[in-house]
Amino acid sequence: MSKGRRVGVTPGYIFAHVEDRQDLSIYLECINKAGRMNFAGIGLEILRETHEAIFSDANLLKISELLERYDLRVEQFIAEYAAADLFSLDPKRRARGRDRIGFVAELCLKLGRVEVVHIPSYKPEEWLETGAERYPGLPGAASLPPERTYGEFWDAGLESFRDCLADLKDTPLSLAIEPRPDTLLTTADGALRFADQLETGTNGLKVVLDTSHLQAQREMIDVAIEKASSRLVGIHLSDHSAANYREPLGRGMVNWDAVFASLRKIEYRGPLDIELYGGNIEDVDAEYWAGKAFVESRL
């Protein structure tokens, strides 16, 4: 890993300020702050359908001008609102998810500084709710309906992602999956097996890893990074503890020496994006600034 302007922020930086109450002014304010703190990039996200309006052509122009002012990359554009549909057994919902990925891809091409359309793993709508969310900001715990098999949902997801990869084939964009607890793809191994079954050449499915998700699943993060090296296009960085899902870097259980040793070993050159939000993050800007220093000191 080279030193320099490498550290960015995920859309979690925006959510940490306002949760999911988003509008254009909030986006512009957070882009301004990230630029003034000399971050390398900022992620964008559509969390729910009502957020599409934020990215009208007129608003995209304002966002693009501000990104250019600070020379900020958009590390990934996260299509959270499409994720559940893509794993559904209902063909109409899968078609809607594909359309939503198409909408996000069009936004990425208009912005011109986005390389990855990012889909977090999700639980299909048909899964049965089994209680409150175990992890803040993630889908709640669920179980398979007794009349369905895991393989049916797996195959439905494969069909959706093949379609989306085909749609992006003639664009400069990559499609990436992020494994998350309590979803169809919970581990790095699961995400990689899914990607292997989709292999379509150089424009195959990529992978984004999140250190808190991996720690919550009790994975060896350095090993997961090495396993994913050929597909890895992004890392979300936060610490994790029994008390708080996302802790400021260096205050939880993540073995950061091993994480950065693994990144050096695979010669990772991609984005390193801090993701902190939740009730335990009191001074958002201060914690992101401290996280940036934490990461840069280890590059």
pLDDT tens figures, 3-41: 456 899 999 998 888 765 678 999 999 999 999 999 999
Report the pLDDT value the prediction gives residue 128, as an integer from 0 to 100. 80
Query: Is residue 141 domain-resident?
Result: yes
pLDDT for 113: 87
| Pair 211, 249: CB distance under 8 Å | no
Tell me, yes or no, whether 166 lies in a domain: yes
| Domain assignment of residue 35, given as a range | 7-296
- Give me the mean pLDDT over the 218-237 stretch: 97
How many domains would you assign to the chain? 1
pLDDT the model gives residue 46 = 94
d(CA 62, CA 299): 33
pLDDT over 50 at 144, yes or no: yes
- Position 177 scores a pLDDT of 98
Residue 70: phi and psi, rounded to 5, are: -100, 5
- Cα separation, 115 vs 206, in Å, equals 11
Residue 250 falls inside a structural domain: yes
Structure-block tokens of residue 60: 């995209």
Model-wide pTM > 0.85: yes
Q: Are 26 and 32 in contact (CB under 8 A)?
A: no
Tokens of 131: 């209680």
Please report the pLDDT score of residue 59 as a whole number: 96
Question: Is there a contact between 245 and 212 (Cβ–Cβ < 8 Å)?
Answer: yes
Q: What pLDDT, on a 0 to 100 scale, did the predictor assign at position 203?
A: 66
Assigned domain for 290 exists: yes
The CATH number assigned to the domain holding 203 equals: 3.20.20.150
> Is 2 a member of any domain?
no
Give a yes or no: residue 1 inside a domain: no
Q: What is the mean pLDDT of residues 115-141?
A: 79
The answer to whether 48 touches 20, Cβ cutoff 8 Å, is: yes
Q: Check whether 202 has a pLDDT greater than 60.
A: no
Confidence tier at 280 by pLDDT (50, 70, 90): confident
pLDDT score of 277: 87
Q: In the predicted model, is pLDDT for residue 201 greater than 60?
A: no
What one-character DSSP code corresponds to residue 7? E
User: In this predicted model, which residue has the larger pLDDT, 66 or 128?
Assistant: 66
pLDDT of 278 reads: 78
Higher pLDDT, 139 or 221: 221
Q: Is the pLDDT of residue 1 over 50?
A: no
